[in-house]
Amino acid sequence: MSDVLEQLAEVLEQRKTADPDTSYVASLHAKGLNKILEKVGEECTETLLAAKDAEQSGDTSELVYETADLWFHTLVMLSRLGLGPRAITEELARRFDLSGLEEKAARKSQ
Ligand SMILES: N=c1c2ncn([C@@H]3O[C@H](COP(=O)(O)OP(=O)(O)OP(=O)(O)O)[C@@H](O)[C@H]3O)c2ncn1[C@@H]1O[C@H](COP(=O)(O)O)[C@@H](O)[C@H]1O
In tens, the pLDDT along 53-67 reads: 999 999 999 999 999
Quick check: 106 pLDDT over 90? no
Predicted pLDDT at 25: 98
In this prediction, residue 2 has a pLDDT band, given cuts at 50, 70 and 90, of confident
Q: For 11-19, what is the mean pLDDT?
A: 98
Cβ 44 vs Cβ 70: under 8 Å: yes
Q: For 22-47, what is the mean pLDDT?
A: 98
Report the predicted TM-score, pTM, of the whole model to 2 decimal places: 0.92
Q: Is the ipTM of this complex over 0.90?
A: yes
Rounded to the nearest angstrom, the distance between the alpha carbon of 94 and the centre of ligand 1 is 31
- Number of the ligand 1 atom closest to the C-alpha atom of 24: 39
Rounded to the nearest angstrom, the distance between the alpha carbon of 89 and the centre of ligand 1 is 23
Residue 94: phi and psi, rounded to 5, are: -60, -30
- Number of the ligand 1 atom closest to the C-alpha atom of 8: 44
Cβ 13 vs Cβ 79: under 8 Å: yes
Cβ 85 vs Cβ 78: under 8 Å: yes
Q: Which residues line ligand 1 (CB under 6 A)?
A: 8, 11, 15, 23-26, 42, 69, 72
d(CA 6, CA 79): 12
